[in-house]
Amino acid sequence: MGFSAPTPPSQPSDNHEVLVEFPDNRLLIDLCGEFDKNLARIEQKLSVHILRRGNQLAIVGEGEMREQAVQVLEQLYARLESGKALESGDVDAALRFGDTGADTGVRDGDQIEMFKGDAVEIKTRKKLVEPRTQAQKAYVKALFDNELAFGIGPAGTGKTYLAVAVGVNMFIGGHVDRIILSRPAVEAGEKLGYLPGDMKDKVDPYMQPLYDALNDFLPAKQVAKLIEEKKIEIAPLAFMRGRTLSNAFVVLDEAQNATTMQMKMFLTRLGEGSRMVITGDRSQVDLPRGVQSGLRDAENLLSGIKNIAFNYFTSKDVVRHPLVAKIIEAYDAADAKAVSQTK
């Protein structure tokens, strides 16, 4: 089915109302969401009222917010026209990307292209994954274009999720023979030996986010079979010592908790035909006081080397609950204030 753009909105009248017509009633139903939840989300965020009138939506509100609501609705409708599903996260993303207010810092038109013709897509066995921000889009491109890439930024920005998605894509496409996912088990420390079960039982709780990501992209039975065949490995960072990782897609998650020596050890495991991704959040270092984070050292030492990509995320790229972004911003502001007071 070809694209059928909504009818351009009529000029607002004295009561600040603008009408937008959407040609396909079935897509309009999806646009509104179950019990009009998508419309309610837009109303709440932009302080407008949206009324359904047949195949038209009437947007009532003040000028800039009303215009932004029209823009968001048209973007989401275009997404549906292209055959893609519309989830609550897509609505939140459209609201953030279209927001030109001071509270987001997003530039006019920045990231809107994600809903248009040049969107990046990652195909996996269970779903089609799309980066939702410009930083995520650049990150995914870097993962495909470089043998070694870093994703650095706060929690909830999709660093690990997108890296695992790209790894699954490259694996099912035959570009690599296996996927290797690793994290430092810093939280375990000396207490690891006191946990019940064998070594797998002891370390699996720390690896669970990696299992969760894999299960989003591959059927559970296939994940279990591939792990049994050693085509997927999920292991603590310490288990990487002495290995050469060839023809593999390798992800080191929570890299801020790797020491300088561990980071050097891991980076030098890179073998022929492999891709390596390092993800981390510099604000969540759990290493003992006085121990330097290997992630920060790697930034300083490797940033000028060709074919090594560094990709950075901010609270604007958070794709979890909208409150997560505000929480991160509050902590960042407090940290900045503390730094300024010590100078």
What pLDDT is attached to residue 119? Answer: 62
Please state, in angstroms and rounded to a whole number, the distance separating the CA atoms of residues 280 and 12. Answer: 47
Residue 27, H or E segment: helix 25-32
- Alpha-carbon separation of residue 98 from 95, 110, 220, 302, 331 (angstroms): 5, 8, 37, 35, 25
Q: Which pLDDT band holds residue 126 (cuts at 50, 70, 90)?
A: confident
Asked if residue 108 has pLDDT above 50, the reply is: no
Contact 214, 168 (CB under 8 A): yes
Residue listed under structure tokens 């990709």:
311
Q: Do the bridges between strand 148-152 and strand 275-280 make them parallel or antiparallel, or are there none, so unpaired?
A: parallel
Asked if residue 98 has pLDDT above 60, the reply is: no
What pLDDT is attached to residue 296? Answer: 92
Indicate left, alpha or beta for 247 from its phi (over 0: left) and psi (-120 to 50: alpha): left
Asked whether the CA dihedral 228, 231, 236, 242 is positive or negative, the reply is positive
Strand runs labelled E in the chain? 17-21, 49-53, 56-60, 122-123, 128-129, 148-152, 178-183, 232-236, 248-252, 275-280, 308-312
Closest by CA position to 155, among listed 333, 310, 336, 318: 318
Tokens found for residue 132: 């939702």
Asked if residue 337 has pLDDT above 60, the reply is: yes
Please name every residue paired with 21 in a beta bridge, in sequence order, or none if there are none.
7, 56
Indicate left, alpha or beta for 230 from its phi (over 0: left) and psi (-120 to 50: alpha): left
Delineate the domains of the chain, giving CATH numbers in brackets. 17-115 (3.30.1370.10), 122-342 (3.40.50.300)
234-292 pLDDT, tens digit per residue, is 888 888 888 888 999 999 999 999 999 999 999 999 999 999 999 999 888 888 888 88
Asked if residue 323 has pLDDT above 60, the reply is: yes
**Higher pLDDT among residues 8 and 342, named by residue:** 342
Q: 300 exposed, middle or buried (CB, 10 Å; 0-12, 13-18, 19+)?
A: exposed
**Higher pLDDT among residues 189 and 172, named by residue:** 172
**Higher pLDDT among residues 63 and 253, named by residue:** 253
Q: What is the rounded average pLDDT of the residues 65-75? A: 88
Q: Which pLDDT band holds residue 343 (cuts at 50, 70, 90)?
A: low
Please state, in angstroms and rounded to a whole number, the distance separating the CA atoms of residues 236 and 181. Answer: 8
Enter the pTM of the model.
0.66
Closest by CA position to 270, among listed 180, 144, 184: 180
Q: Which pLDDT band holds residue 115 (cuts at 50, 70, 90)?
A: very low
Residue listed under structure tokens 């991704």:
277
Tokens found for residue 211: 């299992």
Please state, in angstroms and rounded to a whole number, the distance separating the CA atoms of residues 70 and 8. Answer: 10
What pLDDT is attached to residue 112? Answer: 34
Strand runs labelled E in 105-231? 122-123, 128-129, 148-152, 178-183
Q: What is the rounded average pLDDT of the residues 83-100? A: 71
Asked if residue 102 has pLDDT above 60, the reply is: no
Contact 186, 287 (CB under 8 A): yes
Q: What is the rounded average pLDDT of the residues 168-182? A: 92
Q: If you average pLDDT over each of 18-32, 76-90, 137-151, 308-322, which comes out highest? A: 137-151
Contact 247, 274 (CB under 8 A): yes
Q: Which pLDDT band holds residue 318 (cuts at 50, 70, 90)?
A: confident
**Higher pLDDT among residues 51 and 339, named by residue:** 51
Tokens found for residue 315: 């609270």
**Higher pLDDT among residues 319 and 67, named by residue:** 67
In the chain, what percentage of residues exceed pLDDT 90?
31
Q: Which pLDDT band holds residue 205 (cuts at 50, 70, 90)?
A: confident
Residue listed under structure tokens 């559970």:
220
Cα–chain-centroid distance for residue 78?
22
